[in-house]
Amino acid sequence: MKHRPSILVEISRHHARRMLDRQIRTEIAVMRRYPQPTYTHEQRAVAIAVLRAEMRKRGKVAA
């Protein structure tokens, strides 16, 4: 029988990932709400796209 990592480890790992997702989501939200004057519209779009890609890499598409 293969040793399964304890459920606690799984939960904490899942929690860590969720926290990261929330961080990325708030970053996107902040970027939308408070566009930096130094950013052009394109730069902002690129930055959001990059964060989105980061989420997709983690298996979360809904952003």
Cα(1)–Cα(23) distance, integer angstroms: 38
Q: How many helices (H) and strands (E) does the chain have?
A: 2, 0
* Whether the predicted pLDDT of 62 surpasses 60: no
Q: What is the pTM of this model?
A: 0.37
Cα(6)–Cα(33) distance, integer angstroms: 41
pLDDT at 9: 67
Q: pLDDT tens digit string along 21-44?
A: 777 778 777 877 776 666 676 777
> Going along 1-63, which residue ranges are E strands?
none
pLDDT at 35: 66
**Whole-number mean pLDDT of the chain?**
71
